[in-house]
């Protein structure tokens, strides 16, 4: 798509928004119901696309993509009327008589740029929030998941007129053409490097942006952890989608005293969940492209591999891999892995380990396995991260009741549920001042009586 065509889309969307078509409750509700209905009707089409792009099984596609998206749509449909209401807040005595309230207002025309690793959920979840908030939307799915992008384009084209929702496909040229336009808000999910470019372009127009990025998310396993259960949940979270999950445990940092027991339990769980030869498991996914496959294979140090380490280049599959005796200086610790490689580091002093985590960029997620409540509190108090779990992995993002987002280099802003609605809204602070009386305190001439009254009101 050319830049001129993109400008024409934006012109039509701005006109549609300015005419007020997106504002009524009925219009927003109808859009959400259309999308939910289309997702249910096209579930099989989306599953086929996800299998083609990422090798996902139908079960995993529903559990991690379509099902979670339907859950967000259902939540938003149930709560939309409440979210759209003005919210009364206390009024200071100095402003008597008045009612103070917060009034949500849509930004206007927004851009949603989504990644390839969860192309359905990470496109449609923010779209649901944006439509609920009353915006028009341009959606830009990743070119690295072409089958999913085509399916999304077809589904959204069936649901919505282009003046409400338009899908722009393509690669870098289309991304640049979009980022050169003036949107009212940008929502981006992807890498830190691209996130910086998005923010630079947004700054040119002073456009607000929500960035959902990534980072090296640690998984701390403390000596009181239930080792077998921890291994089961770590293996699930790490190797889901072949490790191509922004909140996957990037590495394990465990007490040296339990390292061997934990590694043995992880190896057993890999076999239990993926079979003796995971590369032959039809429900185990694949790496998105050859370049990413080669990058990941280059991070594996054969001398430190205790499980896996093999790959099938033609099928773009890498066996679930565990490396031990890893140090902070190893190549695998120099970047976000984003693949099925799990380095295991150890500590002898938990406070020193937490200091090492804090000395690095704040991660998108942090996981702690521990039965010690004091240790749990210490980690939560000491470490800065987007979100996480105690005694589990990745499930914190699977709810509309809590916001999902990063902090520092792992992102800014959040979404899901109420937070998602508010991410795509400007919350106006309003005072409805009554006219049946008018307090004279603020008006000149000032005097001692007014001074006394002012001090009473403002303390």
Mean of pLDDT values over 25-42 = 98
Q: Is the pLDDT of residue 335 over 90?
A: yes
- Residue 20 maps to which CATH number? 3.40.605.10
Largest CA distance in the chain: 87
Candidates 212, 222, 269, 409; catalytic one: 212
Confidence (pLDDT) at 99: 95
64 domain residue, yes or no: yes
Average pLDDT, the chain: 96
Segment (H or E) for 253: strand 251-255
Residue 111 shares a structural domain with residue 222: no
Other beta carbons within 10 angstroms of residue 206's beta carbon come to 7
DSSP state of 256: G
321 domain residue, yes or no: yes
Cα–Cα separations (whole angstroms), residue 455 to 93, 190, 431, 451, 458: 11, 52, 22, 6, 5
C-alpha–C-alpha distance, residues 307 and 325, integer Å: 13
Candidates 159, 246, 307, 383; catalytic one: 246
Residue 373 shares a structural domain with residue 411: no
Mean of pLDDT values over 332-344 = 97
Confidence (pLDDT) at 94: 85
Residue 15 shares a structural domain with residue 143: yes
Confidence (pLDDT) at 426: 97
Q: What percent of the chain has pLDDT over 70?
A: 100
Cα–Cα separations (whole angstroms), residue 459 to 441, 445, 454, 455: 15, 22, 9, 6
332 domain residue, yes or no: yes
Total number of domains constituting the chain: 2
- 426: which 2 tokens? 């400007």
pLDDT, tens only, 419-452: 999 999 999 999 999 999 998 888 999 999 989 9
Residue 203 shares a structural domain with residue 227: no
442 domain residue, yes or no: no
Residue 7 shares a structural domain with residue 114: yes
Confidence (pLDDT) at 459: 78
Residue 242 shares a structural domain with residue 364: yes
441 domain residue, yes or no: no
Confidence (pLDDT) at 81: 98
Q: Is the pLDDT of residue 389 over 90?
A: yes
Judge whether 242 counts as a catalytic residue: no
- Residue 271 maps to which CATH number? 3.40.309.10
447 domain residue, yes or no: no
Tell me the DSSP string of 339-408: SSEEEEEEES-HHHHHHHHHTSPPPSEEEEE-S-HHHHHHHHHH---SEEEESSSSGGGS-SSS-EE--G
Residue 149 shares a structural domain with residue 284: no
Other beta carbons within 10 angstroms of residue 160's beta carbon come to 21
C-alpha–C-alpha distance, residues 82 and 114, integer Å: 28
Confidence (pLDDT) at 439: 87
Confidence (pLDDT) at 370: 98
3-state secondary structure of 48: helix
C-alpha–C-alpha distance, residues 260 and 371, integer Å: 19
pLDDT, tens only, 92-114: 988 889 999 999 999 999 999 99
- The dihedral over CA atoms of 76, 78, 84, 89, expressed in degrees to the nearest 10, equals -110
Confidence (pLDDT) at 282: 94
Mean of pLDDT values over 32-36 = 98
Residue 156 shares a structural domain with residue 183: yes
- The domain of 21 spans 3-213+407-428
Residue 184 shares a structural domain with residue 278: no
Q: What are phi and psi of 118, to 5 degrees?
A: -130, 70
C-alpha–C-alpha distance, residues 102 and 178, integer Å: 32
Confidence (pLDDT) at 70: 98
pLDDT, tens only, 351-373: 999 999 999 999 999 999 999 99
Mean of pLDDT values over 107-126 = 98
459 domain residue, yes or no: no
Residue 246 shares a structural domain with residue 162: no
444 domain residue, yes or no: no
Q: Is the pLDDT of residue 1 over 90?
A: no
Q: Assign 456 a pLDDT band (cuts: 50, 70, 90).
A: confident
C-alpha–C-alpha distance, residues 52 and 145, integer Å: 9
Residue 130 shares a structural domain with residue 22: yes
pLDDT, tens only, 217-270: 999 999 999 999 999 999 999 999 999 999 999 999 999 999 999 999 999 999
Strands (E) located in 158-236: 165-167, 185-189, 209-212, 218-221
Residue 128 shares a structural domain with residue 158: yes
Contact residues for 203 (Cβ-Cβ < 8 A; gap 6+): none
C-alpha–C-alpha distance, residues 279 and 422, integer Å: 43
Contact residues for 12 (Cβ-Cβ < 8 A; gap 6+): 162, 163
Q: Assign 458 a pLDDT band (cuts: 50, 70, 90).
A: confident
Last-in-domain residue among 401, 417, 439: 401
Confidence (pLDDT) at 93: 85
pLDDT, tens only, 68-79: 999 999 999 999
Contact residues for 200 (Cβ-Cβ < 8 A; gap 6+): none
Judge whether 212 counts as a catalytic residue: yes
């Amino acid at each position: 798509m050319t830049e001129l065509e993109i400008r024409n889309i934006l012109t039509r969307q701005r006109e549609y928004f300015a005419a007020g078509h997106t504002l009524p409750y009925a219009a927003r509700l109808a859009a959400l119901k259309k999308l939910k209905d289309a997702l249910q009707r096209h579930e099989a089409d989306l599953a086929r696309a996800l299998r083609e792009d990422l090798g996902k099984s139908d079960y995993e596609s529903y559990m991690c993509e379509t099902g979670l998206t339907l859950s967000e749509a259902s939540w938003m449909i149930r709560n939309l009327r409440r979210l759209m209401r003005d919210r009364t807040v206390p009024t200071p005595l100095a402003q008597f008589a008045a009612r103070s309230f917060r009034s949500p207002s849509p930004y206007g025309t927004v851009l949603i740029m989504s990644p390839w690793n969860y192309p359905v959920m990470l496109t449609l979840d923010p779209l649901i929030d944006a439509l609920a908030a009353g915006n028009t939307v341009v959606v830009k799915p990743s070119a690295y998941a072409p089958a999913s992008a085509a399916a999304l384009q077809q589904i959204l084209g069936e649901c919505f007129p282009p003046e409400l929702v338009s899908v722009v496909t393509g690669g870098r040229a289309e991304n640049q053409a979009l980022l050169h336009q003036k949107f009212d808000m940008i929502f981006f999910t992807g890498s830190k490097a691209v996130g910086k470019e998005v923010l630079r372009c947004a700054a040119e127009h002073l456009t607000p942006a929500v960035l959902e990025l990534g980072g090296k998310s640690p998984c701390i396993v403390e000596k009181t952890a239930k080792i077998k259960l921890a291994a089961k949940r770590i293996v699930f979270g790490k190797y889901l989608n072949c490790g191509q999950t922004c909140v996957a445990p990037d590495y394990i940092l465990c007490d040296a005293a339990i390292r061997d027991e934990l590694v043995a339990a992880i190896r057993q769980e890999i076999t239990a969940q993926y079979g003796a030869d995971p590369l032959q498991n039809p429900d185990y996914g694949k790496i998105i492209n050859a370049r990413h496959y080669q990058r990941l294979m280059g991070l594996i140090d054969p001398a430190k591999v205790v499980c896996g380490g093999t790959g099938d280049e033609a099928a773009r599959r890498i066996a679930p891999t565990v490396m031990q005796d890893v140090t902070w200086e190893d190549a695998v610790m120099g970047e976000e892995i984003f693949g099925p490689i799990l380095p295991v580091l150890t500590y002898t002093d938990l406070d020193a380990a937490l200091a090492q985590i804090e000395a690095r960029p704040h991660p998108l997620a942090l996981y702690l396995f521990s039965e010690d409540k004091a240790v749990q509190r210490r980690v939560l108090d000491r470490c800065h991260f987007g979100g996480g779990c105690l005694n589990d992995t990745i499930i914190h993002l699977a709810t509309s009741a809590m916001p999902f987002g990063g902090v520092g280099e792992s992102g800014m802003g959040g979404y899901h549920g109420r937070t998602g609605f508010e991410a795509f809204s400007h919350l106006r602070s309003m005072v409805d001042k009554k006219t049946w009386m008018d307090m004279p305190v603020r008006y000149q001439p000032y005097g001692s009586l007014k001074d006394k009254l002012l001090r009473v009101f403002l303390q």
